[in-house]
Amino acid sequence: LEKFLFILSRKNLSVWKEEAIIEPVIKWTAHDVENRIECLYNLLSYINIDIDPVYLKTALGLQRSCLLTENKIRSLIYNALNPMHKEISQRSTATMYIIGGYYWHPLSEVHIWDPLTNVWIQGAEIPDYTRESYGVTCLGPNIYVTGGYRTDNIEALDTVWIYNSESDEWTEGLPMLNARYYHCAVTLGGCVYALGGYRKGAPAEEAEFYDPLKEKWIPIANMIKGVGNATACVLHDVIYVIGGHCGYRGSCTYDKVQSYNSDINEWSLITSSPHPGKKTWYVGAFSI
């Protein structure tokens, strides 16, 4: 604890945004909730954020009878942020990136749009762009491009490329445990998830996540149904995979919605999709 407090109290501590320093506090507390939860208030006081301590203490007190997981602690802290602080934080990170794509051939371009200025600029091109059907998601300032396949041989790839939006540079990341294409990629709890997809023309049930703190990919429970060309989103710390295709080379349409709870490492079927199949996109939205 003393070492952690020393790091947080340093005046020259530099982070890309406040979430980057809140996350280590959450993970440190969640590692041993019973003995560390009382230190949470002290740690947060060293971070220059506008938080409602009364709300946070009350919420944590009400949750004492339940199992306080990392995701629950995270939700309580972010809900305790005062409204004005949330508004400023959201405005400061509003930038949209278009990564690669396909137009008769794989595209290498990165296009960046700033809605505050309504200006498009071009970022550094994807180094290894002779691929398609990869997954894209962002974690902090980094955009992860996972898997896909080579246009000339349709062989699934396990490779990962990471684009740093602050330095406008690409670096090669740690390969996934399973090669895949047509898969879903999302971010949850400070980790990057790769879910399902296809390999050798057949749907894959395997799912995994990358933990940047541990610098390794970790397998999770297999999906109930392996699907490709599905859509995934995150809502209230739960991953939802909607529809998609199954069967050899996508010969069948899957109409169910699969949900993944990271707290218990378990998949569930929750409902049917109103519009099953590919080329349908979903997002999770809620008001704070």
Tell me, what CATH number does 73's domain have? 1.25.40
Per-residue pLDDT of the chain (288 residues; tens, 9 = 90+): 676 666 666 655 555 556 667 778 888 877 887 777 777 777 777 666 667 767 677 766 666 656 677 777 777 777 777 654 444 444 444 689 999 988 888 889 999 988 777 888 999 999 988 888 999 999 988 999 999 998 778 889 999 999 998 889 999 999 999 999 999 999 998 899 999 999 988 899 999 999 998 999 999 999 999 998 899 999 988 999 998 888 777 668 888 999 999 999 999 999 887 766 555 555 544 433
Same-domain status, 245 and 127: yes
Residues 81 and 123 in one domain: no
Whether residues 106 and 230 share a domain: the answer is yes
Same domain, yes or no, for 135 and 217?
yes
Instruction: Answer yes or no: do 69 and 12 share one domain.
Output: yes
Question: Which of the listed residues 75, 90, 105 is the one where a domain comes to its end?
Answer: 90
Shared-domain flag, residues 82 and 173: no
Compute CA distances 277 → 22, 42, 199, 239, whole Å. Answer: 38, 49, 18, 18
Q: Are residues 71 and 178 in the same domain?
A: no
Q: Both 260 and 172 in a single domain?
A: yes
CA 195 to chain centre: 12
Q: How many residues does the chain have?
A: 288
Residue 288 lies in a domain: no
Contact status, residue 48 vs residue 13, Cβ threshold 8 Å: no
Which range marks the domain in which residue 159 is found? 94-272
Q: Is residue 38 part of a domain?
A: yes
Give the residue from 56, 90, 124 where a domain finishes.
Answer: 90
288 burial (CB, 10 Å; 0-12 / 13-18 / 19+) is exposed
Q: Are residues 82 and 217 in the same domain?
A: no
The rounded distance, in Å, linking the Cα atoms of 85 and 63 is 24
Nearest to 263 by CA among 30, 10, 63: 30
Residues 207 and 116 in one domain: yes
Q: How far apart are CA 58 and CA 48, in angstroms?
A: 21
Q: In the structure encoding, which two tokens stand for residue 141, read together?
A: 């300032």
